[in-house]
Chains A and B, each alone.
Chain A
Amino acid sequence: MERRAYYRNKLLPWLLIAPQLLLVLVFFYWPTAQALYWAFTLEQPWGGGNAFVGFDNFTAIFSDSRYWGTVLRSAFYAVVATGLSMAMALTLALFVDRGLKGTKLFQSVFVWPYAIAAPAAGVAFRFMFSPQAGLIGTINQVWPGIWDPSTVGWQALLMVIVAHAWLGIGYNFVFFLAALQMIPRSVIEAGAMDGARPFRRMLDLQLPLIAPTTFFLLIMNLISSFTDSFGLIDTLTEGGPNDATVVMVYKIYFDGFKGLDYSGAAAQSIVLMLLVISLTFIQFKWVEKKIHYA
């Protein structure tokens, strides 16, 4: 939509946008450029600034099997957490959308996880999953030693993924429900006239019609699983046991701030940036073209 009525002023629009531009330049573009600079240079051991090293930093991380372990773990984390969270939220939204009596109450509670800080959820889940405490730990009364995420890697990873999926329910639910409520009632009624039962209508009418939203959420969830896991991991496992829960963001933080390897961390940041950018790009390309019914 192009606007026809404009205000005319030489200076004012520049003044109005200046604060935002300044912030974005200083805190977004400059750091991003800085990351690029660090990724292609290496600090000299005896001072004298950074020397250009080409792709050496990238070759170094790509030839490190521990880095690949981190990448694979992050991908697994992202896929499973996204799948769990979206499946749960979609199911709830489909049932809430039926609008039965008393649904409003359920509807408002399902949004709550959105408000919770990842570290708060991390602390809560740590207690719930603690082998000594009395929720999941109860299982150790029956089979002693079967559950201990502080020593068993896959259990620690499972715990983090479940917590992440839970945190995402609120956000996903809001979007799914909004999309479902956008479907014209007449379409659903036509389906019912043709003899489609409610469950059949969910599968063959509502799901295809909300496909654009599903795809949008899929990308958003993948991005947030790749980038937004620090608070959970730091409070739940601190990357342990034995690196079993070290994901890309956590490794960047660790190598950069604990190991003081700025170049290595910057190269990893660039890889993660490219990953996020390509996910966003897929989203832009596809949402418009491929999945379009209504």
Chain B
Amino acid sequence: MIERSPLFNAITYLAMLIGLVLVLLPFWVVFIGATLSLPEVARVPLQMWPSDQLFQNISAAWIRADLGPKMINSLVVAVGVTVGKIVIAALSAFSIVFFNYRARMVFFWLIFITLMLPLEVRIVPTYAIAANALSPVQALLDVTGLTGLVQQLGGVQIALNWNLLNSYEGMILPLIATATGTFLYRQFFMTIPDELVEAAKMDGSRPMQFFVDVLVPLSRTNMLALATIMFVSTWNQYLWPLLVTTDREHFGTVVMQLKALVPAQNGTPDWNVTMAGALIIMLPPLLVVAVMQRWFVRGLITKDK
């Protein structure tokens, strides 16, 4: 602090307090709502202190939305995307930064451009490809006339089909196919001094040794940041899992179940159960962000700039 300004300090605290109330209000309402009984939650105005029904409401929500298996699905998908993204991003950034070959700038741009268009804007055709992931190959065969040729010669109709709907691969793979992590790793690898590479080469380390023994340990902070960002954003996915799983019972995620917990227009207004469900569904990513804050903030900032 530079000068004494008691008045402005008071204003600062006041502004931060108002901010705190505005930011926390939805969290507080969810928490309070989750602890109330049915008559209490229907009362107007809403009481602002907790009651004692938290565990009853949570177990009601747990059963109604079948949260046990759905939690497992959410976890599998979130961990799958996080791990897949880290591995793939680190490898491809390693290839782009530490090898000198002609196609590398083309590859870099091919990957980098994907940052521009979020999954949401190309949702219909992405769905079509998930319904048959081999359709590009099929189209290639059709266009080159190979399908017709094989049919004439061998009498077999080539119809390649790999359906990703209602599968973990279908939920995971399209979410890995973006450049976020690759870009983050590239930015970090660029800061590794040339001398380190020279020294490693001098000591006779082969490329993969250099990757495993030098780069992976050095980029641990990076990895934590990327892991936090990926885990949170995957856990919170809604539109994509909604489309790719028609079999909700077996492949639904917790976030998809939120809508099912909202009271029907003319049904019992048991918002207390809804809030209890929302509370446990938003807790895992919130905990991850709260614990990993220091690393994830750094990662978030280098990712986008």
Residues in chain A within 8 A of chain B (CB atoms): 1, 3-9, 12-14, 16-17, 19-21, 23-32, 34-35, 38, 88, 91-92, 95-96, 98-100, 103, 106, 108-128, 130, 132-135, 137-138, 140-141, 150, 166, 169, 171, 174-175, 178, 188-189, 192, 197-199, 216, 220, 223, 227-228, 230-231, 234-235, 249, 252-253, 256-257, 262, 265-266, 269, 272-273, 276-277, 280
Contacts and interface: CB of A to CB of B under 8 A. Distances in A.
Given A88-B22, A166-B26, A120 B125 contact: no
B119 to A, nearest CB: 9
B19 A231 contact: no
A269 B297 contact: no
Given A113-B23, A132-B44, 15 more contacts: A23-B173, A30-B136, A115-B286, A117-B281, A120-B255, A127-B275, A133-B42, A134-B46, A175-B301, A192-B3, A227-B120, A230-B239, A235-B259, A256-B123, A276-B118
A40 B3 CA distance: 65
A212 to B, nearest CB: 9
Contacts of B255: 117, 119-120, 231
B83 to A, nearest CB: 13
B220 interface: no
Contacts of A108: 290, 293
Given A5-B201, A7-B207, A269-B124, A120 B92 contact: no
B1 A99 contact: yes
Contact of B290 (A34, A112, A150, A252): A112
B71 interface: no
Nearest to A256: B124
Interface of B: 1-3, 5, 8-9, 12-13, 15-16, 19-20, 22-27, 29-30, 33, 41-47, 88-89, 91-92, 94-101, 104, 107, 110-111, 114, 116-118, 120-129, 133, 135-136, 173-174, 176-179, 182, 190, 194-195, 197-198, 201, 207-208, 210, 232, 235-236, 238-239, 243, 255-256, 258-259, 261-262, 265, 269, 271, 274-275, 277-278, 281-282, 285-286, 288-290, 293, 297, 300-301, 304-305
Contact of A117 (B3, B33, B210, B235): B235
23 contacts: A5-B197, A7-B99, A7-B210, A13-B101, A16-B99, A17-B91, A20-B111, A23-B176, A28-B177, A30-B129, A109-B24, A116-B282, A119-B258, A119-B259, A123-B277, A134-B45, A199-B8, A227-B118, A235-B258, A249-B120, A265-B124, A276-B116, A276-B117
Would you call the interface of chain B mostly helix, strand, loop, or mixed? helix
A257 B120 contact: no
Contacts of A223: 118
A262 B304 contact: no
Would you call the interface of chain A mostly helix, strand, loop, or mixed? helix
